[in-house]
Amino acid sequence: MPSVHPLPTQAAPLFTTARLAVRRWQADDLAMLYTVYADPEAVRWVGDGQPITQAECERWLVVTANNYARRGYGMWAVTSRDSAEVLGFAGLVHPGGQAEPEVKYALRRACWGQGFASELLPALLRHGAQAHGLRQIIATVDPDNLASQRVLRKAGAVPGACREEDDGSRTLVFTWTAPSGVIPPAPAPVEPGWRGR
């Protein structure tokens, strides 16, 4: 059975933008995680489009803590720089064990239409390259989700081919490649309590 790594009780920002601060998940993010991912409209374009259960949220906290320990990254909380209020969640994941890191995000419905996704995505992708040495990051999007496609294009991701999913649906794959000037720094010391592998 895999070991379980604890989530921090308080996490410092990993990176910031003009209005946002992005940090690791904390144990007390559970309620907001459920609020975002149990909203049928908010998750319409996420995964299979089905709302998540409370138990699935609890398991996701464990999976994310283990991802931090294993890779140094995973899903993160997107907060307001001014108030530290959680606006949504975003991060870099490897769904189903896929080789390529994939960017994912979902914001509370009350935060839609304010340009947060367009502000977040370029900074998140750059952080993936600078902090974790990720040279290419993909994003998968429903061909009908034009809003997310616009956000990805603005962030510098390029659309590729559609792929067929197991359920017969089609997914458009975008690829972001780190600009040549984005050079990863030397590895940072491992944060106490987060043993990398």
CATH code where residue 109 lies = 3.40.630.30
Among 35-39, 62-66, 122-126, 182-186, the minimum mean pLDDT is found in 182-186
Q: What is the predicted pLDDT for the residue at 142?
A: 86
Between CA 81 and CA 51 the distance in angstroms is 28
Q: Domain for residue 184, yes or no?
A: no
Residue range 101-125: average pLDDT? 94
Specify if 100 maps to a domain. yes
pLDDT confidence tier of residue 86, bands split at 50, 70 and 90:
very high
112 lies in some domain: yes
Q: Which has the closest alpha carbon to 17: 100, 101, 114?
A: 114
Q: What pLDDT, on the 0 to 100 scale, is given for residue 1?
A: 39
Is 120 within the bounds of a domain? yes
Residue/partner pairs of 45-53 with CB below 8 Å, 24 or more apart: 45/141, 45/142, 45/145, 45/148, 46/104, 46/106, 48/167
CA neighbor of 67 nearest in space, from 132, 153, 148: 132
**Is residue 4 in some structural domain?**
no
Reported as a pLDDT band with limits 50, 70 and 90, residue 166 is: confident
Work out how many domains the chain is built from and give that number. 1
Q: Is residue 159 part of a domain?
A: yes
- In this prediction the pTM is 0.84
- Provide the token pair at 17: 């933008």
Write the pLDDT tens digit of every residue in 137-157: 999 998 888 999 999 999 999
**Angle of the 146-154 helix axis to the 116-132 helix axis, nearest 10:** 50
Position 72 scores a pLDDT of 93
Q: What is the mean pLDDT of the chain?
A: 84
Q: Give the pLDDT score at 6.
A: 62
pLDDT at 116: 96
- State which of 39-48, 54-63, 183-192 shows the largest mean pLDDT: 54-63
Q: Provide mean pLDDT across the span 86-99.
A: 93
Taking the CB of residue 75, how many other CB atoms lie within 10 A of it? 23
What pLDDT is recorded for position 11? 74
For residue 41 the two structure tokens come to: 């409209």
Split at pLDDT 50, 70, 90, the class of 197 is very low
Closest CA to 90 of 55, 123, 114, 66: 123
Is 190 inside any structural domain?
no
Name the residue range of residue 155's domain.
13-177
pLDDT above 50 (res 131): yes
Element (H, E) at 126: helix 116-132
Asked, for residue 91, whether it belongs to a domain, the answer is yes
